Amino acid sequence: MKTLFITGAEGFTGKHLVEYLRRRGYEVVGGVRNRARKLAFERQYGKALVCDVSDAITVARAVAGVKPDGIVHLAGTSQPHAANAEPLIAYQSIVTGWANILDAARRIVPRARVLLTSACDVYGKVEGNERPVGEDTPFNPVNTFGSLKASAESIARTFFLNYHTHITIVRPFHYTGAGQSEEFFFGSVAKRLAEWDPAAHGSTLQLPDLNFKRDFLHVSDVIEAYAYLLEEGRANEAYNISSGRTWTVREIIELICRTAGRNITLSDQPADDDDGQVPWYCGDNHKITTEFGWQPRYTVEQAVAELTQSFLPQQAQVVS
């Protein structure tokens, strides 16, 4: 492969992936949602095309304009709370988006490799002991986001069976790093703590779900896994991108506090209702480690420190 097309290239993961793939010698064209984002992206990252994945015509034009050897599809609603709030928009960006990308690929670049990003939310609440879930675990999504990703995966299987499109699916668990926006939970907490004024806010931070457990990775490990799978991943296969261990939400936020230099007491915030949250997520990464030798190379402490540092004023940055 020489030329790659990355949708959602202006997002948190997209920017990291574009830079990583360019360092590996690929010609990378970013797909971004509108002209304003295109201009902003090109100033820093290079060539981009407008590609609203919910619009089949613009997707087809973009793919035809690039004629890539490989496509990485990152675009679409990426937070469960956003999908819950706007399910129609989420459907169009996830389910319709996958169908549009796959249809453009089968008609324009049928030999291209296509890497599609699903999510650990397809597994939902897994019954039984807290053991890492493998790729063959039955889907049991409990929120709109997980349900839509599961539907999109079903469409991908159909494209493989009917059109022999080379499709590989990734199911990333939770991850972070420098540049993750405040739209994400840990990004919002990091920003809040970076700007914390004890005189105004006191010494206690109340947050929900502090005892929930999350499988956590550094974004650099995630994009390295994506690159492996884009180049070598088997067709019609899904791969967990996970560490195989968990951290509590409390532990992650304590790391943020440490990096930000905040001496803050964390307090549980009572949940208003069950909004589809899953108390425990942990992925079995045996498949990708066995087939490709991939292993996380960065620590969670590094990931959280880099996230927090990106919100701190330069003069206030703390070495963790």
> 251: domain CATH number?
3.90.25.10
Q: For residues 147 and 196, state if they share a domain.
A: no
Per-residue confidence band for 115, with pLDDT thresholds at 50, 70 and 90: very high
Q: Is residue 291 part of a domain?
A: no
pLDDT at residue 270 is higher than 80: no
Asked whether residue 160 is assigned to any structural domain, the reply reads yes
Q: How confident is the model at residue 274 (pLDDT cuts 50, 70, 90)?
A: low
93 and 7 in a single domain? The answer is yes
The confidence score (pLDDT) of residue 275 equals 57
If you average pLDDT over residues 19-43, what whole number do you get? Answer: 93
Tell me the C-alpha distance between 122 and 102, whole Å.
Answer: 20
**Whether residue 123 sits in one domain with residue 257:** no
Q: State the residue for tokens 């928009």.
A: 89
Q: Read off the pLDDT band of 131 (50, 70, 90).
A: confident
Q: Does residue 256 carry a pLDDT above 60?
A: yes
Residue 190 falls inside a structural domain: yes
One domain for residues 139 and 205 = no
In which domain, by residue range, is 113 found?
Answer: 3-175+217-241
For 8, 77, 144, 174, the CA distances from 85, given in Å and listed in that order, are: 21, 11, 9, 21
Domain co-membership, 130 together with 185:
no
Q: Are residues 22 and 155 in the same domain?
A: yes
137, 115, 73: which is closest to 236 by C-alpha?
Answer: 115
The pLDDT assigned to 320 comes to 44
Residue bearing tokens 């970013």: 30
Q: Is the pLDDT of residue 170 over 90?
A: yes
Q: Do 169 and 98 reside in the same domain of the chain?
A: yes
User: In this structure, are 204 and 225 located in the same domain?
Assistant: no
Please tell me whether residues 90 and 201 are part of one structural domain. no
Q: Residue 319 has what pLDDT?
A: 47
What's the chain's length in residues? 320
pLDDT band at 317 (very low <50, low <70, confident <90, very high): low
Q: Does one domain contain both 267 and 165? A: no
* CA angle centred on 230, ends 169 and 14, rounded to 5°: 85
Asked whether 295 and 217 are in contact (CB, 8 A), the reply is no
pLDDT in tens, 147-158: 999 999 999 999
Res 276 pLDDT > 70: no
Is 203 domain-assigned?
yes
Nearest one of 214, 212, 209 to 273, comparing CA atoms: 209
Q: Are residues 149 and 197 in the same domain?
A: no
Q: Residues 145, 263: one domain? A: no
Specify if 76 maps to a domain: yes
Look at residue 228 and tell me whether its pLDDT is greater than 50.
yes
Q: Is residue 290 one of the residues assigned to a domain?
A: no
Mode of pairing for the β-strands spanning 27-32 and 48-50: parallel
Q: What are phi and psi of 268, to 5 degrees?
A: -70, 130
Q: What is the CATH number of the domain that holds 90?
A: 3.40.50.720
Across 144-182, b (16+ Cβ under 10 Å) vs e yields: bbbbbbbbbbebbeebbeeeebbbbbbbbbbbbbbbbee
Lowest mean pLDDT: which of 41-50, 174-183, 221-230? Answer: 41-50
- With respect to residue 67, please indicate whether it lies within any of the assigned structural domains: yes
Task: Give how many domains the chain has, as a whole number.
Answer: 2
Pick from 43, 66, 57, 51: nearest CA to 9: 51
54 has pLDDT over 90? yes
Phi first, then psi, for residue 30 (nearest 5°) are: -90, 140
Average predicted confidence (pLDDT) for the chain: 94
Residue 195 counted as domain residue:
yes
> Among the listed ranges 2-16, 131-145, 190-204, 305-319, which one has the minimum average pLDDT value?
305-319
How many Cβ atoms sit within 10 Å of the Cβ of residue 313? 8
pLDDT given at position 315: 46
Residue 201, pLDDT score: 86
